[in-house]
Structure formats: C-alpha cells, structure tokens
C-alpha cells in the first residue's frame, strides 16, 4: 500500500478540467485486467510475465520532474489497487506487430504493464471489455539505441470510465513512438509522461480522439527533455460530435542545459456539432536557450469547401463529413515512422467510424 | 550601446529618488481602520467606504494565488507597505503651482514637455494621489471628462458609481480586492457619444518613497461611437527594499466605441507589479491593449477583454523584457461572449541574464458566440542559457463555428542573422540590438512616435552586456 494522498482541489492544474471525484474508482473489489500475448512470429523474442511493483513508480524522479503528490494521485490509486503487475520483454528486431489483448471486466478493473525494449519492436495494446471503471498504468524503458512503437486502441464499453497513466523513459539515441486511438469509454482521463533521459533520444506521439454523445476525454501529455540534442513531436487531432467534450494539455519541458533540443506540438480540434466543446492547452517551459520549441493549436468546424468538393462527386453530406473526419483523425498518426503502427491505427479507426455510422 | 542612446536615457534613468515629501503619511500596515481613514480623508460617499471595507475583508480572507511564481508572491510583506502617502495639498491645474520637489521629478521625466507637444491631457500621480492634472480646452468643451479618480468621484459620483467595480469586481482576485480597499488616484475618463479624442491623453505614475504601495484605479468609459487613446507610463526609484504596485483598470466601450490603452511600464527591479486590467466591448466596439513591460521584480498582468456585444473586437499587443532577477508573468485573456466577435493577440518576450518570461493566456468562446474568429501568436527569444521562457495558453471552445488559431515559438537569435548584420560593419552588440528592435517592431509601431523611440533606446540599454 502507498501513502494516502489528499484529493486534489479543482484549482490543481492537472485536475481542473476533469475533477478527481469524476475519476475515482468506486468501492468494489478490483479485478485484474487479463493480459494475453497473441502468438507471434517465431523470430520474435517477446515474453509476457509477472512484473515487480518497483517498475511502477508513483512519483517520477528526475531532474526538475519530482512532482507533488497531488499530481500523482492516479498513480497512487493504481498502485493501491495493485492489478497484478506484468512485464513484457522485447528483444531483437521485430518486423511483425506484437499484439497484446487487455481484457477489462467487473466493476473495477486494473492493470499495470511494464514494457522493456532492447531492440526494435511494434506493440499493439488492445483494450476491451465491459468494466465499469478501468485503470491502466503503462511504464516502459527503451534501451540505448533501441526503438519501440506502442499502439493503444480501445473498444471499452460505452459506459466505462477509463483512467490511464503512462511513464516512459527513453535512452541514448533511442526512439519511442506511441499512437493512441481514443474512442471507447464514457469518461476518460489520461496522464501520459515521457522522459528523454539521454542525448539523441526521440519521442513521437500521435493522438486521435473521437467524441460522441456526452463522452468526456481528457489527455494530459508531458514530454521532458532532460538532455540536449533530443527531439519530440506531438500531434493531437480531436473530432467532437454530439455534446462531447475533449481537453488536450501538452506540457513540454526543456531542462537547463538541454541545448540542441527540437520540440514541437500541435493540437487541432474539429467541432462537429453545436453542443460539442474542445479545449487545448499547449504549454512550454524552456530553460535552455539553444533550442527550437514551438506549439500550435487550432479549432474550427468542417470546411465547407471540402464538403462541397466531396458532395459534388456524388457523396451525400454524412458520407462526405465522415470521410473528412476519418482523414483528419488519421492524420494524427503522421509522426509515427513505423508503418505497421500507422496501419494498425488506421484500420481500427476505419472500423470504429464504420460502426459509428451504422449505429 | 551608442553614446546617443546613453545620453538619451542613461542607466535605468528613472532610478533616482528625490527627498520624500509627505503632508500625510500613514503608518505601515493594513487594517480596516486604515481603509476607513483613506476614505474619510478623501471625504468619499458612504457607498464607496462600504465597498472598500468589504473589499478589505475579502482581501484578508482570500488566500494568495497558488499558481504563478508562488515563492515571490509569498515573499510580499503586506505589513511593511505604506498604503497612503499624500505628497501635495491638492491636484494642481497649473504646472507652476506644483510643489518644487515634485515638479523637479516630473521635469526630469519629461512630462511638461510631452504635454505641450502631443498630448490632449495629462495626469501626473506622485505616490498615492495626482499632483497635476490638465485637459485641453477643446476637449473639455466637447464634454470629455478627464479627472484624476478622486476628483472624478467627487465631481461625478453617479457616473462613477454606475461603472466602478463592474468590470473588475473586488471578488475577482486577491489583488483586485486590495486595490478596491485602498485605491487612491488613477484616472477617470468619460467620452460622450460620438466624440473622437484625436490626441492621446496620458497618465504618469511615479513611486518615490521607500516601501510604498501605489494602488491607482482607472476607469475609462467611451460612450456610443466615441474613441480615445490613453497612454500610461510608470517608473520608480531603485531602492534595496521592495515597493508594491497593484492597480486596477476598467474600460467600458459602448456600442461602436473604441478605446486604446497603451502602457509602458519601466519599473525598477524592486517593484512588485500586480495589476488587473480588463475591458468590456459592447456591440461593434473595439478595445485595444498595447502593453509594454520592462523592469519590476515580478509582474503579473493579463489584460483582458470581454467581447459582450455582437461584432466587438479585441486587439492585444504585448512585449515583455525579463532581465536579471526579473519575472515577467504577462499574457492576455479574451472571452468571446457574443456572435461574430473577433480578436487578435500578439505577444513577444525576451529573457536575458537569468530573467524569466511567462506568457499566460486564455481564449474562450462561449456556446452562444457564433462565428467568432481569433488568432494568437506568441514569440519568445532567449538570449542566454541562464534564462527561462514559459508559455501557458488555454483555448476553450464551446461553439462549433469558431475559427481559432494559436501558435508559439521559443528560439535564440539566429546565427545567420547576426552574421549578415556583422558582415555589413555592425558590432555583435549592435547587430543583436537591431534584431531585438526588429523583434519588437510590431509592438513599437503601435505606439506614439515619442514612446516608440524611447522604448527602442531603453531596449538598447537593456541589451548592453547581452554578448559574451
């Protein structure tokens, strides 16, 4: 058990848009998320087994990154619920995608997975099930010179609440990519942190969010450049329909002495209905001078010129809108270099939008 | 730095201080009695006294903000501040009648000269109250009211009561509560319907005494179809102990009116500058903030516009220069409350010698605000490895028809730009100065020429030592 943490007030930045009281798990016996490693190519060295709780820190240490406990209440909670920590070890160069199914069932489902990469790999984590509350803590270490792409998709029940925390550490000359397609669940809070610990490290993040009904989706993405000559790119594309709400916060921190850093982040919001709402908060904290750091945010409705173009070629309004939304969301995965990762995400996106159209 | 620039402005040339002149000086520290005494001294109507007392209690109960530079905020010793100091028996309308000591100060600041050349009116505030005030006769004849705030309340209490505390209520934040409790001085302007004040009017605020708190309150109301440009300048001497400047500015632009509020704050590095500035723009009205921040120990200032009427427009242009030991926490807020409202925000900052500049912005589109457009651009230059630049913008979009853009970048001066200028005979320092002036050019071109020229020279001085 970890030390109890006070509930954060609504003034705490991390919990301002999605109060902790919305995300706190209900009082129920937690069940562990069932994790299954799908059969993989014989050449792939991937093993999934029990992990140690030590792999899931509740406070992330590092230069300028020790955060007050109140920011880590989600991590404390996930540690308290335990969720039988697991560990996925990846070795060698993998061309094939390593698929891991995460099945969440029961009132409260929790899972913690650590991924250690000592080679080149693409991992697809597919979250599904009908859990009322689902908590997931992902941590990982990309070893020096290695490359890891992690794709996260979910088909959780529309009534689920989802709490996700990520802590990734990227070594010297290592590359970490992650793509998330956030379409499941009723209410979601993600707190994703990435640490570039050594020179030459690189992070690329693609995030696509589709809001429907009254879905609430809050993604907080932190990227810490602890050392110089590191790069990062974040693209977050959000399409909100119905009365859904999306919040996207990007916190980009460049530490003292991290010269030669090249960092950028873009948040784009597409509002599809009058009741939808999308907030973008891209933040920069730059403590080194020889850097290139930029961010941008934009919000608009569907461009009438694009609609007109597609409709003049025979599509009806809904088909044309849907095609534009699909192209817009798929563009979020542009930063990912691994074509397998991009393809996996696009396939899932197409299936999701087809289903959404039918229903 | 060129000799010409040095001759023009000297080292922080407003760092001088004259012997303190006080006809009334309150003891340090704040209490309900101090608040009531200030009100009684000014012989204010009861409603104002009660408002001050309510604001005082709110200030005492409200905690310090738990964001921003908390370390510096919490180091303010409110008990060490003098909340009221009267330097002159009254506000003079003739420059010759201003006490000699004070007149000398403003002579050195160039106020009488500027008034003769290019201003429509002037208020000069020394410590807590205005010591000099004048307005051109032709403006007076057109019905323009331009008073220091104390006189405005005395002469036009109903008009002041109608608008005072409506744009920035004392409950807005801790420092707006403090200002409402102990305000003194500032400007009150009312521009009647359809009147265009062609020449800018200016207020100059000077803190001279040690540990002084200056809490001026400015209210500008531009009635339908009118326009005005108000210019504000601030300086203080360099002392080893800190001073507190906590102003509140309220602007009301009625239908079709236009208010431009230009500020150059050049405080010395021992001043806490914690200011709340906000304007309301009614239908088809425009509110513009042109805001320059140089100096101070900590500045927290986020000029805001509430776009309340259809077709209203907001324009905010700000620059900040954070030097050694300084934190410029500035930004802007625009709330699109009505349909077809538009806004432009441009923010530029430079950090040097360990200085920290922060942009904190809020752009909000409310659900009923159809067809809004906004563009926000933030650029930051870092001149050395000891400095810091932060950007915290927030975009909240509640209407699908909104078209918003935000972009920000942080960088250093490009080597090829320096090389280009140096290959044409400039020294490295001159080249860097030229680039910085160019970086701030979108701001300086919005200022009256005299101000723009002064700002460029000030920047040149500040840039000294930026190389190596």
- Of the candidates A275, A296, A300, the beta carbon closest to that of B406 is on A296
Span of A56-60, A217-221, B117-121 with lowest mean pLDDT: B117-121
Write down the pLDDT at residue B346. Answer: 93
Block residue for tokens 């597919």: A126
In chain A, where the domains are located: 13-358
- Of the candidates B383, B400, B407, the beta carbon closest to that of A271 is on B400
Write down the pLDDT at residue A5. Answer: 62
Whether residues B382 and A288 touch (CB distance < 8 A) is answered with yes
Q: Which residues in chain B are closer than 8 Å to A274, comparing Cβ atoms? A: 367, 399-400
Is A296 in the B-facing interface, judged by CB distances under 8 Å?
Answer: yes
The yes/no answer to whether this complex scores an ipTM above 0.85 is: no
Range B162-167 average pLDDT: 96
Write down the pLDDT at residue A64. Answer: 46
Q: Are B168 and B55 in contact (CB under 8 A)?
A: no
- How far apart CA A70 and CA A218 sit, in angstroms, is 17
At A355, the pLDDT band (50, 70, 90 cuts) reads confident
Q: Which residues in chain A are closer than 8 Å to B404, comparing Cβ atoms? A: 297-300
**pLDDT tens by residue, B418-444:** 889 999 998 888 888 888 888 888 877
- How far apart CA A84 and CA A76 sit, in angstroms, is 15
- How far apart CA B23 and CA B33 sit, in angstroms, is 19
On the question of pLDDT at B365 being above 60, the answer is: yes
Range A280-292 average pLDDT: 90
Is A10 in the B-facing interface, judged by CB distances under 8 Å?
Answer: no
**pLDDT tens by residue, A130-156:** 999 999 999 999 999 999 999 999 888
Is B415 in the A-facing interface, judged by CB distances under 8 Å?
Answer: no
On the question of pLDDT at B11 being above 50, the answer is: no
Range A276-296 average pLDDT: 91
In chain B, where the domains are located: 15-414, 415-468
The pair of three-digit structure tokens given for residue A162, joined into one six-digit string: 């989802």
Whether residues B400 and A298 touch (CB distance < 8 A) is answered with no
Range A3-29 average pLDDT: 80
A133: nearest Cα among A108, A111, A157:
A108
Quote the mean pLDDT of chain A: 89
- Could you give the 3-state DSSP secondary structure of residue A249? strand
Is B69 in the A-facing interface, judged by CB distances under 8 Å?
Answer: no
How far off is chain B from A249, nearest CA to CA, in Å?
Answer: 9
Whether residues B67 and A301 touch (CB distance < 8 A) is answered with no
- How far apart CA B390 and CA B137 sit, in angstroms, is 47
Write down the pLDDT at residue A7. Answer: 76
- Of the candidates B67, B395, B411, the beta carbon closest to that of A279 is on B395
- Give the CB-side neighbour count of residue B330, counting CA atoms within 13 A: 37
At A2, the pLDDT band (50, 70, 90 cuts) reads very low
How far off is chain A from B167, nearest CA to CA, in Å?
Answer: 23
**pLDDT tens by residue, A221-264:** 999 999 999 999 999 999 999 999 999 999 999 999 999 999 99
Write down the pLDDT at residue B446. Answer: 76
- How far apart CA B277 and CA B182 sit, in angstroms, is 17
Q: Which residues in chain A are closer than 8 Å to B410, comparing Cβ atoms? A: 284, 286, 291-294
Whether residues A294 and B380 touch (CB distance < 8 A) is answered with no
Looking at chain B, which residue has its C-alpha nearest residue A294?
A: B409
Write down the pLDDT at residue A290. Answer: 87
Percent share of chain B, pLDDT over 90: 46
- How far apart CA A245 and CA A271 sit, in angstroms, is 10
How far off is chain A from B389, nearest CA to CA, in Å?
Answer: 5
B91: nearest Cα among B126, B43, B50, B46:
B126
Mutate to test the interface with A, among B384, B394, B415 (most CBs of A within 10 A): B394
**pLDDT tens by residue, B323-361:** 888 999 999 999 999 999 999 999 999 998 889 999 999
At A1, the pLDDT band (50, 70, 90 cuts) reads very low
Residue A256: its H or E element:
none
**pLDDT tens by residue, B28-87:** 889 999 999 999 988 999 999 999 999 999 999 999 998 888 899 999 999 988 888 776
**pLDDT tens by residue, A43-74:** 668 889 998 888 887 765 444 444 446 678 89
Whether residues B407 and A295 touch (CB distance < 8 A) is answered with yes
- How far apart CA A33 and CA A155 sit, in angstroms, is 14
Quote the mean pLDDT of chain B: 84
Is beta strand A202-211 parallel, antiparallel or unpaired with respect to A175-182? parallel
Torsion sign, CA atoms A237, A240, A244, A245: positive
Q: Which residues in chain B are closer than 8 Å to A299, comparing Cβ atoms? A: 395, 397, 402-404
On the question of pLDDT at B225 being above 80, the answer is: yes
- How far apart CA B192 and CA A311 sit, in angstroms, is 53
Q: What angle do CA B455, B460, B466 make, to 5 degrees?
A: 135
How far off is chain B from A74, nearest CA to CA, in Å?
Answer: 21
**pLDDT tens by residue, B272-289:** 999 999 999 999 999 999
- Of the candidates B391, B396, B407, the beta carbon closest to that of A283 is on B391
- How far apart CA A263 and CA B438 sit, in angstroms, is 25
Is A64 in the B-facing interface, judged by CB distances under 8 Å?
Answer: no
For helices A317-330 and A304-311, the axis angle rounded to 10 degrees is: 120
Percent share of chain A, pLDDT over 70: 92
Write down the pLDDT at residue B1. Answer: 40
- Could you give the 3-state DSSP secondary structure of residue B201? strand
Distances (CA, A) of B201 to A81, A251, B118, B315: 65, 42, 9, 19
- Of the candidates A269, A285, A289, the beta carbon closest to that of B384 is on A289
Write down the pLDDT at residue B467. Answer: 45
How far off is chain A from B8, nearest CA to CA, in Å?
Answer: 31
Residue A339 CB contacts under 8 Å (≥ 6 apart), including other chains: none
Percent share of chain A, pLDDT over 90: 69
Q: Are A226 and A255 in contact (CB under 8 A)?
A: yes
Range A268-277 average pLDDT: 93
The more confidently predicted of residues A69 and B185 is: B185
Q: What is the DSSP string of B250-292?
A: EEEE-TT-EEEEEEEEEE-TTEEEEEEEEEEE-TT-EEEEEEE
């Amino acid at each position: 058990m970890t030390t109890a943490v006070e509930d954060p007030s609504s003034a705490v930045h991390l919990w301002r848009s999605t109060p902790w009281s919305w995300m706190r798990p209900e009082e129920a016996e937690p069940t562990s998320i069932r994790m299954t490693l799908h059969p993989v190519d014989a050449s792939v060295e991937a093993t999934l087994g029990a992990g140690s709780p030590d792999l899931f820190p509740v406070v992330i240490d590092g230069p300028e990154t020790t955060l007050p406990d109140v920011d880590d209440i989600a991590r404390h909670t996930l540690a308290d619920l335990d969720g039988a920590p697991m560990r996925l070890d990846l070795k060698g160069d993998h061309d094939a995608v390593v698929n891991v199914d995460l099945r969440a069932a029961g009132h409260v489902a929790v899972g913690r997975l650590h991924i250690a990469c000592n080679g080149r790999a693409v991992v697809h984590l597919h979250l599904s099930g009908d859990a009322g509350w689902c908590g997931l803590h992902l941590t990982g270490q990309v070893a020096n010179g290695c490359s890891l792409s992690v794709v996260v998709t979910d088909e959780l029940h529309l009534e689920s609440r989802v709490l996700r925390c990520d802590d990734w550490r990227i070594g010297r000359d290592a590359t970490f990519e992650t793509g998330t397609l956030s379409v499941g669940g009723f209410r979601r809070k993600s707190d994703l942190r990435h640490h570039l610990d050594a020179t030459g490290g690189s992070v690329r993040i693609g995030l696509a969010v589709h809001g429907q009904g009254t879905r609430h989706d809050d993604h907080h993405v932190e990227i810490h450049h602890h050392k110089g000559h590191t790069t990062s790119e974040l693209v977050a594309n959000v399409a909100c329909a119905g009365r859904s709400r999306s919040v996207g916060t990007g916190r980009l921190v460049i530490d003292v002495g991290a010269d030669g850093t090249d960092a950028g982040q873009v948040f784009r919001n597409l509002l599809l209905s009058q009741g939808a709402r999308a907030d973008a908060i891209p933040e920069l904290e730059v403590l080194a001078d020889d850097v290139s750091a930029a961010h941008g945010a934009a919000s608009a409705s569907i461009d009438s010129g694009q609609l007109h173009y597609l409709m003049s070629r025979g599509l009806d309004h809904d088909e044309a809108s849907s095609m534009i939304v699909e192209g817009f969301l798929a563009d979020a995965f542009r930063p990912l270099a691994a074509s397998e990762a991009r393809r996996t995400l696009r396939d899932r996106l197409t299936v999701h939008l087809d289903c959404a159209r039918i229903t | 730095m060129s000799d010409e620039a040095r001759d023009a402005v000297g080292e922080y040339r407003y760092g001088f201080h004259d012997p303190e002149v006080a006809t009334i000086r309150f003891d340090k520290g704040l209490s309900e009695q101090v608040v009531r005494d200030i009100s009684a001294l000014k012989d204010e109507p009861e409603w104002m006294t009660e408002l001050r007392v309510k604001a005082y209690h709110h200030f005492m109960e409200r905690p310090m903000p738990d964001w921003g530079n908390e370390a510096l905020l919490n180091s303010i010793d409110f008990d060490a501040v003098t909340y009221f100091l009267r330097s002159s028996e009254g506000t003079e309308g003739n420059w010759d009648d201003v006490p000699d000591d004070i007149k000398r100060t403003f002579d050195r600041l160039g106020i009488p000269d500027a008034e003769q050349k290019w201003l429509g009116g002037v208020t000069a505030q020394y410590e807590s109250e205005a010591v000099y005030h004048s307005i051109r006769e032709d403006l007076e004849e057109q019905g323009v009211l331009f008073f220091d705030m104390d006189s405005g309340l005395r002469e036009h209490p109903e008009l002041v009561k109608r608008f005072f505390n409506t744009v920035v209520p004392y409950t807005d934040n801790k420092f707006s509560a403090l200002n409402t409790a102990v305000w003194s001085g500032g400007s009150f302007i009312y521009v009647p319907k359809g009147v265009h004040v062609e020449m800018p009017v200016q207020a100059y605020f000077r803190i001279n005494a040690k540990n002084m708190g200056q809490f001026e309150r400015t209210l500008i109301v531009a009635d339908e179809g009118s326009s005005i440009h108000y210019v504000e300048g601030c300086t203080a001497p360099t002392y080893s102990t800190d001073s507190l400047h906590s102003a509140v500015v309220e602007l009301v632009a009625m239908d079709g009116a236009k208010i431009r509020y230009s500020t150059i704050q050049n405080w010395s590095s021992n001043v806490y500058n914690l200011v709340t500035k906000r304007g309301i723009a009614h239908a088809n009205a425009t509110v513009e903030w042109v805001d320059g921040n140089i100096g101070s120990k900590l500045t927290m200032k986020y000029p805001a516009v509430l776009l309340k009427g259809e077709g209203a427009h907001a324009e905010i242009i700000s620059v900040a220069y954070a030097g050694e030991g300084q934190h410029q926490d500035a930004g802007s807020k625009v709330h699109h409350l009505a349909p077809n409202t538009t806004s432009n925000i441009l923010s530029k900052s430079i950090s040097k010698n360990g200085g920290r500049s922060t942009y904190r912005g809020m752009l909000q589109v409310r659900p009923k605000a159809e067809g809004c457009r906004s563009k926000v651009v933030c650029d930051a230059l870092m001149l050395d490895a000891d400095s810091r630049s932060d950007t915290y913008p927030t975009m909240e979009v509640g209407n699908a028809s909104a078209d918003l853009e935000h972009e920000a970048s942080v960088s250093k001066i490009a080597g090829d730009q320096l090389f280009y200028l140096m290959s044409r005979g400039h020294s490295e320092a001159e080249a860097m100065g030229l680039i910085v002036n160019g970086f701030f050019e979108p701001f300086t071109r919005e200022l009256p020429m005299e101000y723009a020229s002064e700002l460029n020279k000030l920047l040149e001085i500040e840039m000294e030592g930026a190389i190596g």
